[in-house]
C-alpha cells in the first residue's frame, strides 16, 4: 500500500505519476540511528578541526554506531 489517500492515489494513476510504497515500520528507527552517526561524525570533525586531534574514544563510539547501523540495514533490508 502506498499510504496515499484514495483520491490522491487515483489522481496519480490518472496523471501517470510514479507511486512509491510507504516506508517500512522500522524505517524511522534506522533514520534515527543514521542521524546519530552523522551527529557524532560532525562532533568528531569539529573537535579534530579545533584541536588538531580526534580522541580515540570518539572514534570508537563512531565505529560502534556505524557497525550498529550496518547490522540494522543487513537485518531489515
pLDDT digits (tens, 9 = 90+) for 10-68: 877 788 777 677 777 778 888 888 888 888 888 888 888 888 877 788 788 778 878 88
Q: Give the structural domain span for 32.
A: 24-76
Domain count for the chain, please give it. 1
Residue 49 covered by a domain:
yes
pLDDT at residue 62 in the model: 77
CA distance 26 to 44: 27
Position 59 scores a pLDDT of: 80
In this structure, is residue 36 part of a structural domain? yes
Q: What are the CA-CA distances from residue 39 to residues 28, 51, 54, 60, 76 (Å)?
A: 16, 18, 15, 14, 23
Give first-to-last CA distance, the chain, whole Å: 18
Residue 53 resides in a domain = yes
Q: Is the residue at 3 inside a domain?
A: no
Q: Is residue 10 part of a domain?
A: no
- What pLDDT is attached to residue 1? 60
Amino acid at each position: 500500500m502506498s499510504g496515499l489517500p484514495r483520491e490522491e492515489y487515483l489522481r496519480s494513476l490518472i496523471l501517470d505519476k510514479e507511486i512509491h510504497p510507504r516506508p517500512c515500520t522500522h524505517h524511522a528507527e534506522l533514520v534515527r540511528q543514521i542521524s546519530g552517526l552523522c551527529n557524532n561524525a560532525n562532533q568528531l570533525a569539529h573537535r579534530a578541526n579545533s584541536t588538531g586531534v580526534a580522541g580515540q574514544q570518539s572514534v570508537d563510539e563512531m565505529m560502534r554506531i556505524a557497525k550498529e547501523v550496518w547490522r540494522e540495514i543487513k537485518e531489515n533490508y
